[in-house]
Amino acid sequence: MRAERLPADLTTAEVMVSIPKTLPHDASTAAVREALEDRHVHMVLLTRAGRLVGTVVRDDVPADRPSRSPALGIASLEARTVAPSDPIGRVRDRMVVARLRRLAVVDDDRRLLGLLCLKRDRSGFCSDHGVRARAAEGRNLALDLPSP
């Protein structure tokens, strides 16, 4: 699918998901594994007092890592964050070249502002509305499951 044309002056803050799911800084590896079971979750955001202290993607989690160990020990921030004022066209190009689907949006103090979520077909970015709709759909599907 063809990528959408993005206005040159559009910033990451204007297209980010502003309600990203997070885990606390002291989350266990088991909690991160559980979050990553959702196929829409590509990056787990670890926060402390609203600040991003680490990110974890599937490749960061060794199969033999003990479940009770702190996830922060395998987390990274390197090349996983962008500023809210960064031009989205350049950021999108970087994401495509690096084969990244998620980047955390943080301010100069690493306060978490949002998450850039590049769509699977790379045609654009996920929105707050789309995330809420998918969550509601998931809840409705769960309600339709037969009882054991």
Residue-wise pLDDT tens for the chain (148 aa)?
A: 344 556 668 999 999 999 899 999 999 999 999 999 998 899 999 999 999 999 999 999 999 999 999 999 999 999 999 999 999 999 999 999 999 999 999 999 999 999 999 998 888 898 887 777 777 776 544 444 444 4
Measured CA to CA, the distance from residue 99 to residue 93 in angstroms comes to 10
Q: What ranges in the chain are assigned the alpha helix state H?
A: 12-15, 29-36, 88-98, 128-144
Ranges of each domain in the chain: 12-144
Q: Dmax of the chain from CA atoms?
A: 53
Report yes or no on whether pTM surpasses 0.75. Answer: yes
Rounded distance between C-alpha atoms, residue 49 and residue 24, angstroms = 9
Could you say which architecture CATH assigns to the domain 12-144? Roll (3.10)
